[in-house]
Amino acid sequence: MLVFGLVLTGCPTDSPEDDEPVQITTAAQLDAVRNNLSGRYILAADIDLSSYENFSPIGIFEPVSDAPEHEETPKLELAFTGVFDGKGHKIANVTISAPNQGGVGLFGCVAGENGVVKNLVVENVPDISW
């Protein structure tokens, strides 16, 4: 079992003008997170991904350029730069196969000033291969 409880980078402060986070309750909604990588999300139910033969990571790592000084600097437009709060819920049965991709996992790359995944339990990960 993996538990994501640490903040990977700074977390934005809440203010009245902030949009309400999108509540995620189904596998299809979780899969759609990749359509807005800078959004704010709250997991409102446990999710089973066993119906996905190969779940694509949310956000991917690709360096800004081929220059040696950029080899660990991700292109922010491809990374998850939003906020995903699992609220203690779990995502289970994740299978991912991405043999030619770096940063393989449920979230392939979390970056940016506000990028954070927190309070999330990931369990029964039968296969993640790269």
pLDDT tens digits for range 31-69:
999 999 999 999 999 999 999 998 989 998 888 899 999
* Tally of structural domains, the chain: 1
pLDDT reported for residue 12: 37
In-domain check, residue 42: yes
Mean pLDDT along residues 79-88: 97
Q: Is residue 14 part of a domain?
A: no
For range 109-130, the mean pLDDT:
85
Strand 2-4 relative to strand 120-123, pairing:
antiparallel
Its domain, for residue 50, covers 1-9+22-60+74-130
- What 3-state DSSP class applies to 112? coil
User: Is the separation of the CB atoms in 37 and 58 below 8 Å?
Assistant: yes
On whether residue 30 sits in a domain, the answer given is yes
In a domain, 102, yes or no: yes
Query: How many Å is the Cα radius of gyration of the chain?
Result: 15
Question: Tokens 């309750």 — which residue?
Answer: 25
Which residues have C-beta within 8 Å of that of residue 81, sequence separation ≥ 6? 37, 38, 59, 110, 111, 112, 113, 114, 115
CB-based burial of residue 84 (10 Å sphere; 0-12 exposed, 13-18 middle, 19+ buried)? buried
> Residue 101 — very low, low, confident or very high, per pLDDT cuts 50/70/90?
low
Residue 105, in any domain of the structure: yes
Predicted confidence (pLDDT) at residue 122 exceeds the cutoff of 90:
yes
Give the three-state DSSP class for 22: strand
Confidence class for position 16, pLDDT limits 50, 70, 90: very low
The whole-model pTM stands at 0.79
Q: Whole-number mean pLDDT of the chain?
A: 83
> What pLDDT is attached to residue 109?
92
Higher pLDDT pick, 19 / 109: 109
